[in-house]
Amino acid sequence: MRQIVEDAPAKINLSLRVIGRRADGYHELQSLVVFAQAGDRVGAEAAGALTLDLQGPFAAALGADPDNLVLRAARLLRERTGTRAGARLTLEKNLPVASGIGGGSADAAAGLRALVRLWGVDPGATALGEMAAALGADVPVCLDARPAMMWGTGTNIASLDALPRFHLVLVNPGVALATAEVFRVLAAPPLAHAPEAPALPSFATLDELTGWLAGVANDLEAPARALAPEIGTVLTALAASAGCRLARMSGSGATCFGIYADEAAAETAAAAIARAHPGWWTVACGVSDCG
C-alpha cells in the first residue's frame, strides 16, 4: 500500500521580539525563523477511517491524545474539501514535546501536505493557509518550511532569499515549558497602536547574520529562564563550545541553539555537550535553504 511521507522540520526562532499584547489577548510578534534539517515525520496511507499511530523516541510524551494536531489537521482538511476519505496516519515523534521548536505546528503542516497528496485534493494556497492559521499561529510558516520573517500573530509571512550557509546544535535539557505560562511571566504591555511591518533583512555572510541577530534578542528568553533555570546552563554550554558564533533560546523554550560555520564544528560541539550532559537531547544539523 502506498504511503505518503512528509518531513516536519523543527522551526527555529533565530530572533523573537514581542511587540505587545493586543486587545484580543494575542501578542504581536516579529521573528526570523529557519527550519532545521532535523524533525518529525508524518506518513499517510489510504484507509476507511482517520487514525493516528505514534512512533519515535518522544511518542510517549504525546500519549493517546485524540486531539493531536495531526488529527485536527486531517479533520479540518476533510471538512473544508468535502472529501469522505480516511487515512492511517503515522507520526514519528523525534522532537521533544513543548520545547519551543514548533514540533506540533510542523506536524500539523506536514499532515496537511501529506493528505493533500494522498487524497488528491487541491484547496488552493489561500484556503490551505487559512486552514493552517485555524490550527495554530505557527502552522502557516511551517507549510513552506523556508527561511522567513513572520510578524503579527504569525499569519504575516515573508520568505527570505537564501541565507548564508550555517549549521546548528539544538539542545533541550528535558524541560517542557507551556507557551502560555512563559507569556504570563513576560507580562507584555498592551499595544498603543498597530505596529508596522518589519523591514526584511538580507545577509550576504554569516558575520552579517550573526551581527544582526546580536542586536535582536528573543524576548521570551528571560521569562523562560525564570521558569526553567536549566536554560541558562544550556546556553552557557553552547556559548563555551568551540566554534559557536551565537547561542540563544528558540521560541518559548526550553530548546536552545548554537550557530556554527560548518558541519564539522557543529558535530564536534554536539558530541562534547552530549558527553558532558548525557541526559540532554542534543542534535547537530544543517538548515534548509541556506547557502
What is the pTM for the complete model shown? 0.96
Answer whether 210's CB lies under 8 Å from 246's CB.
yes
**pLDDT for the residue numbered 154:** 86
Q: What phi and psi values does residue 287 have, to the nearest 5 degrees?
A: -125, 130
pLDDT tens string 215-261: 999 999 999 999 999 999 999 999 999 999 999 999 999 999 999 99
**pLDDT for the residue numbered 65:** 67
Q: What length does the chain have?
A: 291
In whole angstroms, give the CA distance from residue 163 to residue 19. Answer: 25
Q: What phi and psi values does residue 205 have, to the nearest 5 degrees?
A: -135, 165
**pLDDT for the residue numbered 18:** 96
**pLDDT for the residue numbered 101:** 97
Low-confidence ranges of the chain (pLDDT < 70): 1, 64-66
Catalytically active residues, by annotation: 11, 138
Give the single-character DSSP code of 96: P
Answer whether 170's CB lies under 8 Å from 10's CB.
yes
Show the domains of the chain with their CATH numbers.
Answer: 3-159 (3.30.230.10), 167-286 (3.30.70.890)
Looking at every residue in the chain, the average pLDDT score rounds to: 95
Return left, alpha or beta for 107; rule: phi > 0 is left, psi -120 to 50 is alpha, else beta.
alpha
In whole angstroms, give the CA distance from residue 245 to residue 6. Answer: 31
In Å, how far are 40, 52, 175, 267, 283 from 241, measured between CA atoms?
A: 26, 40, 21, 11, 14
**pLDDT for the residue numbered 143:** 96
In whole angstroms, give the CA distance from residue 59 to residue 61. Answer: 5
DSSP letters of 156-211? EEEE-PPBPP-EEEEEE-S----HHHHHHHH-PPBPSSPPPPPPPP--SSHHHHHH
Answer whether 24's CB lies under 8 Å from 32's CB.
no
Answer whether 252's CB lies under 8 Å from 179's CB.
yes
* SS3 label, residue 241: coil
In Å, how far are 3, 35, 276 from 13, measured between CA atoms?
A: 31, 9, 26
Rg (CA), the chain: 19
Query: CA nearest 264: which of 248, 241, 280, 246?
Result: 241
pLDDT tens string 161-185: 879 999 999 999 999 999 999 999 9
In Å, how far are 37, 168, 205, 246, 269 from 12, measured between CA atoms?
A: 11, 10, 19, 13, 18
